[in-house]
Chain A
């Protein structure tokens, strides 16, 4: 599913990843942990096809991410939840979810039911549907961008600190979401500092430090 060999990634001139060897099988749940600046976000973005590997090989879902077209192809089958929400302030919740779902490869305009369903799944009141995003709180925005991912039903989930900015109820929702994705057979890689919560899922734990894999409980 995901395989990295001596992968190096640069952010400008800074070596964010200094050589990563990692192999993740389909259906695995992986907790990615490590100190701040270890390269967790970079690793997730690399696997999502957003970064060009400087050296080494990165293969995701069979795509070799050294090539541009392959990187583009992999993005539609992967869901990355990053630090930013990627939402358009002036559009409503429903418009944003619909846009991002369609942009991400959904062939048909997602039905209202599906959108509402996704929002409800994330504990969002459907009264929020027609509210412009700039009226939402940070936590609500986070849940909205998650909803856009949920609507797409991706094969590989890359979640970068999904609990951040959410209240306790929101965090529970994220846990349930991850649980659902795992139960449905999806591959989930979660980078988080909420270690206790994620460990409840008995994931494989990969510790990143200094841009490389420091420890890996699977080996």
Chain B
């Protein structure tokens, strides 16, 4: 597993990952073209008054927001699984993967919140809506994993960092359904449900763009994960190399005369 994922020393790029990167960029460009150019804004006629209603141009953000949301959860689930794997197996692969998934997931999560907020302003007439289930859950999720990253950065000992991180990640993921449930029972203001994908005319081009969005962000996740994992792996190898060197240096530096002087056996 490790041999196929790591490259030699200095770069995290490889033949395969460069192809992936190129395809991803191309896909991203295509997606943006479709989302912001070729698709139509959401304009519908009100059934009784006949005036134009709908999300208009804001709907374009959904092509980004919805896939981002889905892959945020994919990334965090991956982190949780890798964390559990680490707790059971204690191998560095699981730990590096957990850290990489958490970092990419947190970035995605932040983007979900931002795109959602920008989308919400024209559509719901507010930047933020308390009591909306998905919004609150995603916010708490973001905060929990921001804490995870802070903890890992603050812990110096790598083994401790891996262990603590794994526990925090698992607790966060287990806590999430409780957060979701509690917000759901709390308020019935679910703006999210009022305007789901179901209300939009999702067919033909919009459907295609949405599917394209899923594909592209899946590729983006894969590419980011790959590189972040490799960076983490190289960091770890570098640290280990550092330790081996330090051991050799320490042993080589032992001076018998100094030792004798220190223990009073020089006379």
Interface residues of A (CB under 8 A from B): 8, 10, 12-15, 18-19, 33-36, 52, 54, 195, 207, 209-212, 214-215
Contacts and interface: CB of A to CB of B under 8 A. Distances in A.
A195 B250 contact: no
Contact of B259 (A8, A18, A34, A195): A34
Given A13-B243, A13-B246, A36 B263 contact: no
A35 B263 contact: yes
Contact size range, B: 10 to 19
A12 B264 CA distance: 31
21 contacts: A12-B156, A13-B158, A13-B239, A13-B243, A15-B243, A15-B246, A18-B251, A34-B259, A35-B258, A35-B262, A35-B263, A36-B262, A52-B159, A54-B243, A207-B263, A209-B254, A210-B250, A211-B251, A212-B251, A214-B259, A215-B259
Contacts of B251: 18-19, 210-212
Contacts of A10: 243
Contacts of B159: 52
Nearest 3 CB-CB pairings of A with B:
A35-B262, A210-B254, A15-B247
A52 B243 CA distance: 16
- Summarize A's interface: helix, strand, loop or mixed: strand
Nearest to B262: A35
Interface in B234-267: 239, 242-243, 246-247, 250-251, 253-254, 256, 258-259, 262-264
Nearest to A14: B246
B247 A8 contact: yes
B160 to A, nearest CB: 9
Given A19-B251, A209-B254, A211-B251, A33 B246 contact: no
Contacts, number: 49
A37 to B, nearest CB: 10
A33 B260 CA distance: 10
B204 interface: no
B243 A209 contact: no
Contacts of A214: 254, 256, 259
A209 B258 CA distance: 10
Contacts of B242: 13
B251 to A, nearest CB: 5
B253 A210 contact: yes
A18 B263 contact: no
A34 B253 CA distance: 14
B90 to A, nearest CB: 10
A35 B266 CA distance: 13
Contacts of A19: 247, 251
Nearest to B252: A210
Contacts of B157: 12
A14 B156 CA distance: 11
A194 to B, nearest CB: 11
A35 B255 CA distance: 11
Contacts of A54: 243
Interface string B133-172: 0000000000000000000000011110000000000000
Given A15-B250, A211-B251, 9 more contacts: A10-B243, A13-B242, A13-B243, A19-B251, A34-B263, A35-B262, A36-B262, A210-B250, A210-B254
